[in-house]
Amino acid sequence: QVQLVESGGGLVHSGGSLRLSCVASGGIFRVENMGWYRQIPGKQRELVALITSSGDTVYEDSVKGRFAISRDNAKNMMYLQMNSLKPEDTAVYYCKAELVWGGSLHDYWGQGTQVAVSS
């Protein structure tokens, strides 16, 4: 079964940094667009950062200049470097990837990793 697994979440003080990782495994596939989303309690899940197969990126306005999304296609991995973290960044962060297999594109979500930023 193809799956995405996130890691790297944790508790950090305001101003600190964390690096999230996501790996796709379990089959023969090609990874297209990938992205990080987050869900704050009581709020809609929102896009944090998106990276295309060619490396183009899109960021949610509040994280611009603080977060950086990247990917390693050879390893089927994606990263989110989070710097200057703020309490409002506290959320469950999810990895999403578009995987091509069996001649079509399929969306996959990771199980989520908790990020908590204390003031």
Residue 53 and residue 72 in contact, taking contact as beta carbons nearer than 8 Å? no
pLDDT of 41 higher than 90: no
Given a cut of 90, is residue 47 above it in pLDDT?
yes
Binned at pLDDT 50, 70 and 90, residue 112 comes out as: very high
C-beta neighbour count of 63 within 10 angstroms: 21
| Residue 8 near residue 115, CB atoms below 8 Å | no
**pLDDT per residue as tens digits for the range 57-94:** 999 999 999 999 999 999 999 999 999 999 999 999 99
8: nearest Cα among 88, 74, 67, 73: 67
Q: What are phi and psi for residue 88, nearest 5 degrees?
A: -70, -10
What is residue 12's predicted lDDT score, i.e. its pLDDT? 98
Pairwise CA distance, residues 70 & 2, whole Å: 21
**What is the model's pLDDT at position 1?**
82
